[in-house]
Homo-oligomer: A and B are copies of this chain.
């Protein structure tokens, strides 16, 4: 499988929400992008604040734009904040450099998309994304 279909995206969204519920996380917003960085599916749970879609999108979009999980983008931001600020501008404004933007790879390793989650702590957001991607039988790259 080399494309991230809507069925796969829906599986990931459902698994992430299920993870959040079982782990007692705050309301999550989950966005799934294809390899080109375009929205396939998104859900914002009741109680999540207004712009959570944009934050989840920014995590996933930053990751797929640079080919790195958003945890790696946070590390770079800590070292060279001006670089991440500049790249954010270069890619049009949607890049949120904290954990929770996780690359999705096929079992063979092909990059097929990215998941962005926001709502709880960044570490918990990332854990939900990783669990959801793996629940779909795919490989997660958080950094």
Chain A residues proximal to chain B, CB less than 8 Å? 2-3, 5-6, 9-10, 34-46, 48-51, 53-55, 57-58, 62, 64-68, 74, 77-78, 80-98, 111
Contact = CB atoms under 8 A, between A and B. Distances in A.
A88 B86 contact: yes
A47 to B, nearest CB: 8
A129 to B, nearest CB: 17
A50 to B, nearest CB: 5
Nearest to A8: B46
Contacts of A46: 3, 5-6
Contact of A80 (B45, B86, B98): B98
Contacts of A5: 46
Given A39-B42, A77-B80, 9 more contacts: A6-B43, A35-B50, A41-B44, A50-B65, A50-B67, A55-B66, A57-B90, A81-B81, A86-B88
A82 B2 CA distance: 33
Contacts of A68: 49
